[in-house]
Amino acid sequence: MNADLVVVGAGLFGLTVAQQAAERAGARVEIIDIRPHIGGNAYSRMDEETGAEIHQYGAHLFHTSNERVWEYVNRFTSFTNYVHRVYSTHADEVFPLPVNLGTINQFFRAHYTPKEAQALIAEQAGELAGVEAKNLNDKGIQLVGRPLYEAFFKYYTGKQWQTDPADLPASIINRLPVRFNYDNRYFKDKYEGLPTDGYTAWMERMIDDPKIHVTLGVDFFDESQPLNKAALVGKVPIIYTGPVDRYFDYALGELKWRTVDFEEVRYEEGDHYGCPVMNYPDADVPYTRAIEFKNFNPERREQQNPDKTVVWREYSRSAGRDDEPYYPVNTQDDRDLYQQYKQLEDKEPGVIFGGRLGTYAYYDMHQVINSALTAYDKRIHPLIAK
């Protein structure tokens, strides 16, 4: 190996750092990843039968109001005009989400004005209005009122966490958006869309530089191959984006994560749901939502199979060591444990931890990219600049 920087993990954090290091410092970068592809959880692939772009690790939707991030990503891809909208099937009826005036009027079979709807939700918070919420259940009722909370969030959250919301901390949901107009856009960011020719093509362009080399299928902790932790730490600067507790061989204990299992269903029809995402908040449906990938890219209809479609149903559960970690559980015990690992990080020579796994945090894609750009500016460039 002849590299000035080693990046462990080919997700968006690692790819952004590698791109910046090669471009701004002229650094030779070696990227390694245990998976057989780049892109981390944002990786996508084409499904030959349907013509759908499958988001291999669940739906990834790009949105941001950060001008620097938007300018940066547009160097490598253009974006479609996709606007994310979510629907929810409750009691055999479909409602728009987030909760908005349309949802409220449909649910209550009414024609409330915005002012009337606001008064209704405040009234339905009942005795919980204006008091400190003791758990997620109470917080949800405070924010959207009891009927809407129980219809759309209580059992959905219970399935997502496999725990009664009354036993979950209120901090899990800082807010549930309620809009007292008919705006059903899911995100409120200035910019939104999907990469025109897919996520994988976007990320391949990020590292299309002769100074960047990628080696896939490599386990950083496998000492039988040369690109391993014992051989590299202290000898070359390292950007580590894997699980922080795994880096230290779980010496202080394991940080808890949620994972997602996917069940694929194929239909002999061109469009099954008529939308990309359908939530299932009722307790008698075991999965939380279903994703119909073709509907993320209506601009590709001519290239898609008009008679077949593919849907993935999502099931949430606790993650084990061999599972893909998606969402940090983030209890107070977990946060305390992470802080202990953070103290160990600071003692590692020439190793910078980043990404959601390396910092035990949940990030949207634009937040990962922003954190990588910031980390490069403040910590990585001074480390490698010649």
**Residue boundaries of the structural domains of the chain:** 5-38+207-254+329-384, 44-85+185-196+257-318, 99-172
C-alpha 87/C-alpha 275 separation (Å) is 8
Element (H, E) at 297: none
Task: Give me the phi and psi of 31, to 5 degrees please.
Answer: -105, 130
What's residue 56's pLDDT? Answer: 97
Nearest to 367 by CA among 73, 3, 164, 48: 73
Amino acid letter for position 231:
A
- CA distance linking residue 245 with residue 146, whole number of Å: 39
E-strand spans in the chain? 5-8, 29-33, 44-46, 53-55, 62-64, 86-90, 93-97, 191-193, 212-216, 238-240, 257-267, 277-279, 289-292, 309-318, 327-328, 351-353
Q: For residue 114, say if its preceding peptide bond is cis, omega within 30 degrees of 0.
A: no
Q: Which two tokens stand for residue 318?
A: 């606790």
For residue 172, the model assigns a pLDDT of 75
pLDDT for the residue numbered 196: 98
The pLDDT value recorded for residue 174 is 66
Question: Cα separation of 37 and 200, whole Å?
Answer: 9
The span from the CA of 60 to the CA of 11, in Å, is 13
Q: Which residues pair with 45 in a beta bridge?
A: 54
H-type alpha helices, 207-311: 229-232, 244-247
- pLDDT at site 177: 74
| Cα distance between residue 201 and residue 223, in whole Å | 32
Identify the DSSP state of 379.
I
Write out residues in the chain with pLDDT < 50, as ranges. Answer: none
Kindly tell me the burial class for residue 328, based on how many C-beta atoms sit within 10 Å of its own C-beta (0-12, 13-18, 19 or more). buried
The strand order across the sheet containing 5-8 reads: 212-216, 29-33, 5-8, 238-240, 351-353
Strands 212-216 and 29-33, by their bridges, are parallel
Distance CA 302, CA 295 (A): 13
Q: Which amino acid is at 85?
A: R
So which residues are the catalytic ones? 175, 179, 258, 289, 314, 362, 364
Nearest to 360 by CA among 260, 246, 261: 246
CATH class, 5-38+207-254+329-384 region: alpha beta
Tokens of 302: 């001519």
Residue 362: Cβ within 10 Å count: 13
* Residue 302 burial class via C-beta count within 10 angstroms: exposed 0-12, middle 13-18, buried 19 and up: exposed
Give how far Cα 22 sits from Cα of 29, 131, 334, 376, 380, Å.
7, 53, 36, 11, 12
Give the separation between CA 207 and CA 30, rounded to whole angstroms.
11
- Give the phi and the psi of residue 310 in degrees, each rounded to 5: -130, 135
Paired strand residues for 266: 310
Helices 12-25/365-375 angle, 10° precision? 40
pLDDT at 92: 97
Phi-psi region of 350 (alpha: psi -120 to 50; beta: other; left: phi over 0): left
